[in-house]
Amino acid sequence: MKYRIGDKGFVKGLFIVLIIAACAFVAISFGKPYYRSLMLGSHTRDILKSEIGNIEMIKQKTLDNAKELGVPLDEKNLEVVLDKKIIRVKATWSETVDFWGYYQKKFDFALNEEH
């Protein structure tokens, strides 16, 4: 009895593995900007708890953390305000996910933290 390539399900299995790999790649590509945004928010909350009242230090540390995480945050898009006893940090930035030049998706992020 002769077997053909598709008789045992090799092609079907290979196709399913390729689809799962493609879905994982897309999930990781879209997840990176959100992960960086969440990490920057967490680091900013930690900075606000430790550097109470020093606005320039908060701004510099937030920019350093953004650079370390790969977040494209500029100083002009970052605002640190001391309002009575509440320190507010507001920031906005955009990231674009690119799939080899065929598809681009732009994500806009906003950071609003206070302590």
CA–CA dist 110, 38 (Å, integer): 11
For residue range 7-49, list pLDDT tens digits in order: 667 778 888 899 999 999 888 988 999 999 999 999 999 888 8
Q: Among the listed ranges 4-8, 34-38, 71-75, which one has the minimum average pLDDT value? A: 4-8
Q: Which of 104, 54, 106, 99 is nearest to 80 (CA)?
A: 54
User: Where are the chain's structural domains?
Assistant: 10-114
- Verdict on whether the full-model pTM lies above 0.75: yes
